[in-house]
């Protein structure tokens, strides 16, 4: 792990400054000619402008309509990630997180786009997570975001027992957004159980093996943490 000196580019709360410096550091990781995955959320919002300002010859895929609209507005080229003709791999994907554990496991999905976010992360040669310092935790804890199929929803909720539907719009692909509130000790075991549960489209547990590194904003600096893959 190391530190990169990055000056805050505008005033604001400490956490907003940390999001900004982490995002600005991540923008510097992108090189011309790359295919880039863009995540969703308040931290990624700070990534788009500095990335566009570099005026690189890149193409992007976006994990939400909101990210796609803002990236396009700023002049970034956004291409579809849908269907067999879409890009099969990405050079780098950059996204935020709700929790980051020492094991490298990450919880994502506060914005309800975790199914798309996981598809983009899985396609990337290098998945970089950007967070403010409050997202770094000693161990992962509930809630764990879920996307559930509308069909058979009542039975899915009964089987999961500790899941509750979130008061939120559907996912970008029409799934029901929910959260799992059951206590757990083993993130890998919970991820496997949720993945195998009928009616669960996707969950917000991302293994450390998927994450190349985490950029953590701490004040006006960025701590760079390599994932124990």
Q: Which helix (H) or strand (E) holds 106?
A: strand 106-107
Over the stretch 63-73, which tens digit does the pLDDT of each residue have? 999 999 999 99
> In this structure, are residues 46 and 20 in contact, taking their beta carbons and an 8 Å threshold?
yes
Residue 36 neighbours by CB distance under 10 Å: 27
Active site residue 117: yes
Domains annotated on the chain, with CATH: 2-138+207-220 (3.40.50.1360), 144-204 (3.30.70.260)
Q: What is the pLDDT of residue 12?
A: 45
> In this structure, are residues 48 and 76 in contact, taking their beta carbons and an 8 Å threshold?
yes
> In this structure, are residues 211 and 108 in contact, taking their beta carbons and an 8 Å threshold?
no
**Res 5 pLDDT > 60:** no
**Res 6 pLDDT > 70:** no
Name the catalytic one among 117, 147, 202, 223.
117
Over the stretch 25-48, which tens digit does the pLDDT of each residue have? 999 999 999 999 999 999 999 999
């Amino acid at each position: 792990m190391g530190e990169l000196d990055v000056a805050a580019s505008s005033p604001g709360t400490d956490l907003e400054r940390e999001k900004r410096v982490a995002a600005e550091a991540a923008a510097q990781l992108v090189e011309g000619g790359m295919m880039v995955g863009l995540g969703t959320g308040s931290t990624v919002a700070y990534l788009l402008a500095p990335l566009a300002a570099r005026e690189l010859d890149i193409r992007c895929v976006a994990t939400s309509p909101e990210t796609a609209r803002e990236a396009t507005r700023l002049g970034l080229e956004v291409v579809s990630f849908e269907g067999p003709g879409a890009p099969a791999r990405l050079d780098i994907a950059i996204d935020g997180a709700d929790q980051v554990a020492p094991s490298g496991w990450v919880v994502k999905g506060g914005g309800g786009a975790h199914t798309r976010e996981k598809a983009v992360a899985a396609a990337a040669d290098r998945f970089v997570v950007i967070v403010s310092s409050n997202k770094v935790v000693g161990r992962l804890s509930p809630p764990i975001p879920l996307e559930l199929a509308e069909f058979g929803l009542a039975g899915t909720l009964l089987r999961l027992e500790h899941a509750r539907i979130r008061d939120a719009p559907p996912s970008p692909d029409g799934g029901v957004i929910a959260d799992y509130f059951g206590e757990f000790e083993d993130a890998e075991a919970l991820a496997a159980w949720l993945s195998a549960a009928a009616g669960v489209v996707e969950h917000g547990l991302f293994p450390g093996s998927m994450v190349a590194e985490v950029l953590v904003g701490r004040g006006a600096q960025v701590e760079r943490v390599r994932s124990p893959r």
